[in-house]
Amino acid sequence: MDDLNRMLAETLHDAAGAAPSEAGLLGSVHDRSRRYRRRRLVTVTAVSAAAAVVVAGIPVVTMLATRPRPDLPPAASRPAVTATPSGPAASPAPAASSRVPNRPSSAPPSAHTSSTAGAVTLSKGWTAPVFPYTLPATDGLSAPVASMDDGDPVAFFEATETRHHADVTVTVSASEPVFTTTAARTPEQVRGHAGTLRTVDVAPAKQLILYWKESSGRWIQVATDDTYTPDQVVALAESMTAAAVAVAPPFDLELSPGGLATTTVTASRMVFRSPAGGEFSTVLRKRQQLAGVNRKVGGRDAVLTRRPGQVTLSVDVPDWDATLQITVGGGLTVSDTDLLRYAEGVHVLNRSDPE
């Protein structure tokens, strides 16, 4: 115990020697307190700066989730804010009440209006072209049904019985017909003109086409099959008389593109063409799934799409399990308003057949 007491006494004596003097003791304590305070401030500042950097990369939703959510006004009344990494600050989007609704435009900008060269002007109704001939009425053939194919009027005479008759198609064109199939050719005299009978050897019946130049700028061809003999085909051609058989359209049109020629009329399509070659077409297609519906036509879903030089309006026609597709292009232009007006006035007829 003596040794222990001696060691304790020496330690206390050494510590007393190293202690500050009484006069400097309070100053030393203050200096140490100031050093601790500076360390705390530096540490807090560094942590805050690091936290700010981290928070800048955290989505706003995460930030809101970590603290009580204040009462906010409805989203519709708050302007949308888009974060911009660099460059000038983006302008806030206008309030919902000031947005322009997405509706057909009747204003006069760009190529969507009737003031532009090549613009389509709608006219009331539609006048059907006519086929200029007919065949004598017989028990073997039905009355002609006229159509148009790329500017050429066509009449179809359906056989009512096939034992002694076959369907007959008569086509009138402005130029000599062009054929791509191989055929035997036989010269024939038709209506006072030199003609040619083509015989195409196919099953189940050979196809016969008699064609000739009827007058300047008019060629005629009569197509049937070998139910008729060559002489009977010539006799059919000889029996044709002048007529005015109206082309039967697939649609009843309340409006039509004024100043454009009707070039194609079939059971599924009507095409109008300008002298410069622009086309305004209306086609009934088998039903398609419409994506991005942005219009209504007579209460039906529709999609209006504009591309450079062309506009297309596709309308759902569920009654026919079909889609009505209207396309304007090739230098022609039409406003959204007029295109929708035209579509509203297209009524599908019973003779239509979606392609």
Assess whether pLDDT exceeds 70 at residue 168: yes
Residue 341 pLDDT class (50, 70, 90 cuts): very high
Beta carbons within 10 angstroms of residue 158's beta carbon: 14
The model carries a pTM of 0.65
- Torsion, CA 60, CA 64, CA 69, CA 72, rounded to 10: 0
- Quick one: three-class SS letters along 285-344? EECCCCCCCCEEECCEEEEEEEECCEEEEEEEEHHHCEEEEEEEECCCECCHHHHHHHHH
Q: Comparing 147 with 25, which gets the higher pLDDT?
A: 147
pLDDT above 90 covers what percent of the chain?
64
Q: What is the pLDDT of residues 214-239, one digit of tens each?
A: 999 999 999 999 999 999 999 999 99
Whole-angstrom distance, CA of residue 219 vs CA of residue 217 = 7
Q: Comparing 251 with 58, which gets the higher pLDDT?
A: 251
Angle at 209 between CA 142 and CA 145, to 5 degrees: 25
Residue 44 pLDDT class (50, 70, 90 cuts): very low
Assess whether pLDDT exceeds 50 at residue 104: no
> Helices marked H in 146-291 — which ranges?
230-238
pLDDT at 229: 94
Range scoring the smallest mean pLDDT among 16-25, 126-135, 210-219, 263-272: 16-25
Mean pLDDT computed over every residue of the chain:
77
Q: What is the pLDDT of residues 272-282, one digit of tens each?
A: 999 999 999 99
Q: Nearest Cα to 108, choosing from 97, 119, 100?
A: 119
